[in-house]
C-alpha cells in the first residue's frame, strides 16, 4: 500500500508538537510494516525556526521514507487572518507537489495547519483516492474555546463550515481520545463508525523509568520534590492555576520545586508572572536534546498536565503518555470527561483537579509529597498501562489496520474537476474575507 502523509512539520523535527509525534509514528510504521510505501510532503522549516529560519533540503530519502519539502511562509504573527493566509499558501504548495507525484492509494492528513485537509479533499475529488483525517487539535473550535478567535467572527464561521466538509469527506477520522470522538459526533454529526480512536501513545523503549538522581537534576542543581511541566507553553493550557499553587506552596512546602521545560507562545507570560510576583520556587529551562528526554522526565517526582476549560474534546495532551512511560504520577487540571481524566481513573496513575481549583492542586501535590509510597504506586501503574496499551507498538498496529481499511474504500473521482490547482477549491477559503 502506498500512502502519503501531509503535515507541516516532520523529521528532523524533535522539539515537540505534531512534527515530533508524527516523525516517531511514521518511522515505526515503516520499520514494522515493510509492505507500506510511505511518502511525506512537509515544510522546509522546522517548527521552532521562526526567528532564525534555515531551509531543509527539498528532498530527502530517510531510510526508505521519501520526504518532499515545499517552501512555506513563516507564521510568526499572532494575527489570525494572516496566519490563516500563510497556512493556505502552504496548503496550495502541498497540493501542487502532491499532483506532481504518482498516485497514492490513500492520504493521511493532519490538522497542522488546519486548512491542509482541503488539499486531501481536492485530491480525493480528482483521483477518487480516500484520505484519513488525523485530528490533533480541532480548529477553529479550540481557538474559540480559549478566546483566540471570536465565535461570532466571519473567519470562525468560514473555517468551521470548511472543517465540517473536510471531516465528512474523510473515509476515516482518527482522534486521540474518546472525548474527541464524542465531540465530533455531537458538533459535526460524524457517525461513530467513521471515527477511530487512536491515542498518541509513547515509545516505551525510548522513555523508561529511571532513578531520580538524573543528569538533568545535577546540571540544573535541582533538589527535593520536583513538580515538572515539560512541553509546549500553549494557549489552551492552564498555567495560572499552576503558578497560583506554586505561590502558596513556596512557603508551605519549601522543599518543593516547580520546573518548566519547553517553549511556546505563553513563555513570556509565565516568565513575567514568575519575576513580577517573585515566585521563587519556579524555574524555566529550554527543551532538552532528544537523547536527554527520558532523563529529564525521570527528574520529576510528579508531572503536570493541563487544559483550559472548554478545550476538552478538542485535543489530548500528548505529554501525558510520555509521563506514563516514565513511571511518574500525573496531576492533571482537566475536565472530568476528558481522555486524560478517564485514563487516570481507569489506571489509578494520578490525581485529577478541577479547572481553577488552586486549593485542590495544592492538596494533590502536598498529598503526593507526603506519601512517596502512593506516588511510587501510581507511577508503577502508569508504566504498566503504557506498556500494555499505549506503547508505540500498540499504536502503530492500530494505524496500520486503519490504513489497510482505506484500501477498501473506492470513491469515484470527479470527472468534471479541473486539474488546474491554481483554481482549486482552496481559493474560496482565502477569498471569503480571510486575507
Strand 65-70 versus strand 59-62 pairing type: antiparallel
pLDDT band with cut points at 50, 70 and 90 for residue 431: very low
Mean pLDDT along residues 244-263: 96
Mean pLDDT along residues 181-189: 96
Distance separating alpha carbons of residues 413 and 125, to the nearest angstrom: 5
What pLDDT is recorded for position 428?
Answer: 40
pLDDT band with cut points at 50, 70 and 90 for residue 409: low
What pLDDT is recorded for position 262?
Answer: 92
CB-based contact 304:331 (threshold 8 Å): yes
Cell of 346: 481507569
pLDDT band with cut points at 50, 70 and 90 for residue 45: confident
What pLDDT is recorded for position 212?
Answer: 93
Distance separating alpha carbons of residues 417 and 210, to the nearest angstrom: 57
What pLDDT is recorded for position 42?
Answer: 96
**Residue 245 clears pLDDT 80, i.e. is over it:** yes
DSSP character at residue 152? T
Tell which residue, 121, 139, 118, has the closest CA to residue 130: 121
What pLDDT is recorded for position 77?
Answer: 52
Q: Give the contacts of 385 (CB within 8 A, at least 6 positions apart).
A: 324, 343, 346, 347, 349
CB-based contact 160:84 (threshold 8 Å): no
**Residue 13 clears pLDDT 50, i.e. is over it:** yes
State pTM to two decimals. Answer: 0.89
Each residue of 109-166: pLDDT tens digit? 999 888 999 999 999 999 999 999 999 989 888 888 877 778 888 888 888 999 999 9
Interaxial angle between packed helices 178-188 and 154-169, expressed in degrees from 0 to 180 and rounded to the nearest 10: 110
pLDDT band with cut points at 50, 70 and 90 for residue 433: very low
What secondary structure does DSSP assign to 252-275, as a single string?
A: H-TTEEEEEEEE-TTHHHHHHHHH
Cell of 222: 535541582
Amino acid at each position: 500500500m502506498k500512502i502519503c502523509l501531509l503535515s507541516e512539520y516532520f523529521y528532523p523535527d524533535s522539539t515537540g508538537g505534531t512534527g515530533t509525534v508524527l516523525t516517531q509514528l511514521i518511522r515505526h510504521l515503516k520499520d514494522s510494516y515493510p509492505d507500506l510505501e510511505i511518502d511525506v510532503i512537509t515544510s522546509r522549516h522546522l517548527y521552532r525556526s521562526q526567528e532564525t529560519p534555515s531551509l531543509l533540503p527539498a528532498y530527502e530519502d530517510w531510510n526508505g521514507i521519501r520526504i518532499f519539502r515545499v517552501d512555506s511562509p513563516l507564521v510568526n504573527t499572532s494575527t489570525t487572518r494572516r496566519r490563516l493566509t500563510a497556512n493556505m499558501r502552504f496548503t496550495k504548495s502541498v497540493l501542487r507537489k502532491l499532483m506532481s507525484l504518482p498516485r497514492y492509494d490513500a492520504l493521511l492528513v493532519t490538522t497542522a495547519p488546519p486548512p491542509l485537509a482541503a488539499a486531501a479533499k481536492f485530491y480525493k475529488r480528482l483521483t477518487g483516492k480516500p484520505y484519513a483525517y488525523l485530528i490533533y487539535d480541532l480548529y477553529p473550535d479550540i481557538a474559540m474555546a480559549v478566546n483566540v478567535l471570536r465565535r461570532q467572527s466571519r473567519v470562525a464561521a468560514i473555517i468551521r463550515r470548511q472543517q465540517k466538509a473536510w471531516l465528512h469527506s474523510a473515509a476515516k477520522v482518527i482522534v486521540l481520545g474518546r472525548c474527541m470522538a464524542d465531540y465530533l459526533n455531537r458538533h459535526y454529526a460524524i457517525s461513530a463508525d467513521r471515527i477511530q480512536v487512536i491515542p498518541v501513545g509513547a515509545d516505551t523503549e525510548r522513555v523508561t523509568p529511571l532513578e531520580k538522581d538524573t543528569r538533568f537534576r545535577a546540571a540544573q542543581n535541582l533538589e527535593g520534590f520536583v513538580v515538572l511541566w515539560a512541553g509546549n507553553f500553549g494557549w489552551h493550557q492552564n498555567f495560572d492555576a499552576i503558578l497560583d499553587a506554586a505561590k502558596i506552596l513556596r512557603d508551605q512546602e519549601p522543599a518543593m520545586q516547580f520546573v518548566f521545560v519547553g517553549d511556546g507562545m505563553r513563555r513570556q507570560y509565565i516568565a513575567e508572572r514568575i519575576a513580577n510576583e517573585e515566585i521563587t520556587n519556579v524555574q524555566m529551562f529550554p527543551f532538552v536534546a532528544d537523547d536527554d528526554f527520558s532523563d529529564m522526565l525521570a527528574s520529576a517526582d510528579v508531572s503536570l498536565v493541563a487544559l483550559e476549560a472548554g478545550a476538552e474534546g478538542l485535543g489530548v495532551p500528548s505529554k501525558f503518555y510520555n509521563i506514563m512511560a516514565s513511571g511518574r504520577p500525573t496531576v492533571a487540571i482537566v475536565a472530568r470527561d476528558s481522555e486524560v481524566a478517564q485514563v487516570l481513573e481507569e489506571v489509578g496513575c494520578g490525581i485529577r483537579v478541577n479547572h481553577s481549583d488552586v486549593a485542590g492542586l495544592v492538596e494533590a501535590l502536598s498529598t503526593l509529597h507526603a506519601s512517596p509510597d502512593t506516588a511510587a504506586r501510581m507511577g508503577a501503574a502508569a508504566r504498566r498501562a503504557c506498556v500494555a496499551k499505549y506503547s508505540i507498538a500498540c499504536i502503530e498496529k492500530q494505524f496500520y489496520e486503519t490504513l489497510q481499511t482505506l484500501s477498501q474504500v473506492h470513491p469515484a473521482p470527479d470527472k468534471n474537476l479541473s486539474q488546474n490547482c491554481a483554481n482549486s477549491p482552496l481559493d474560496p477559503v482565502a477569498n471569503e474575507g480571510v486575507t
